[in-house]
Amino acid sequence: MDAVNRIDFYIGLSLAVSSSIFIGGSFILKKKGLLRLAKRGSTRAGQGGHAYLKEWLWWAGLISMGAGEAANFAAYAFAPATLVTPLGALSVLVSAVLSSYFLNEHLNVHGKTGCLLCILGSTVMVLHAPQEEEVASLTVMAEKLKDPGFIVFAVCVVVSSAVLIFVAAPRYGQTNVLVYILICSVIGSLSVACVKGLGIGIKELFSGEAVLKEPLFWVLLVLLVACVSLQINYLNKALDIFNTSIVTPIYYVFFTTSVMACSAILFKEWFRMTTDNVIGTVSGFLTIILGIFLLHAFKDITYSWDTLPLFLRQDHREFPWGQPYVALLNQEMPTEEDAKSLRGGATKEHLPERNSVSST
């Protein structure tokens, strides 16, 4: 039994990693498609337009996301949700790296450090992932769905989603990135529960059970299609209005938190964990959030390893606060490009002339 569980673990792990690669790439393809539409003057998705349905790059992104979601779907059938979901951080890394190459969205030292922290945090969470309660059939899944705690959670999700869609989105959707992302995230928690149930049903189907006669199987399928459709719609709006490097990490944080809450309530995973595993799981998740914060909060700061020596010089201490760096006679004067990058776009006239320094 342990050998079978280990095989399932590695299958789920492999599927989750491949899912992150496909999903991370899908953000780039869809963003490229939306940018092409904006250049043509088409009605943007953020303004209610659906011209992206005629753009092949957007469809390529959708296919890539579909492949990633399919792999993710299969991963949930082999491994606990609290193991699979955190590995979505890899999609943030993939998206951040690819956006720096294909969307000209600069990835600075803070961003690279954030990517590394996402990987480390994901690794820690995988090592301390809780083992979910055994759910071997749709019958057991049906009993789980009838649990009062999960019913309250589902009602809260539906009510909060309705408020966000009909009240918050029309007022603040164009200016606040959290509105559309919160819609995707809270609805996504229910979609993962549907995916888990369908995965169990498909495994039963391959074992010869008459799953297609179960009403729950079709209910979960319909709910999954509805949830995914809403997620795609509002994720498109967020991507069209806001920077990819903002949307992807914030979406990951809220989506992962929602899924972990749903999984804990539905499968009672955390009740069977030891203290060290609880601490490890929470620490890993907080590490990922820190990495996401570095990716997002400092994305507009132009800072690289090449400029680090300039920041460390004694004469340069007050330079970031508006005092220009003046070289001593025995020091090499930084180039205009270096100064611009250090000051976040300083103009040419703020720099002393190299020739005048040398002549003195």
Q: pLDDT of 137-182, one tens digit each?
A: 788 888 888 889 899 999 999 999 999 999 998 888 888 888 999 9
Q: Which two tokens stand for residue 340?
A: 């611009």
Q: In this model, does residue 6 exceed pLDDT 80?
A: no
Tally Cβ neighbours within 10 Å of residue 203.
15
C-alpha atoms less than 13 angstroms from C-alpha of 123 in its C-beta half-sphere: 6
* Tens digits of residue pLDDT in 232-255: 889 888 888 887 667 877 787 788
* Tens digits of residue pLDDT in 20-67: 888 888 878 887 877 777 777 666 655 566 666 777 787 888 888 888
- Predicted confidence at residue 360, as pLDDT, reads 42
Task: Report CA 194 to chain centroid distance, whole Å.
Answer: 20
Question: What's the pTM?
Answer: 0.65
Separation between Cα atoms, residue 266 and residue 257, nearest integer Å: 14
Separation between Cα atoms, residue 325 and residue 335, nearest integer Å: 11
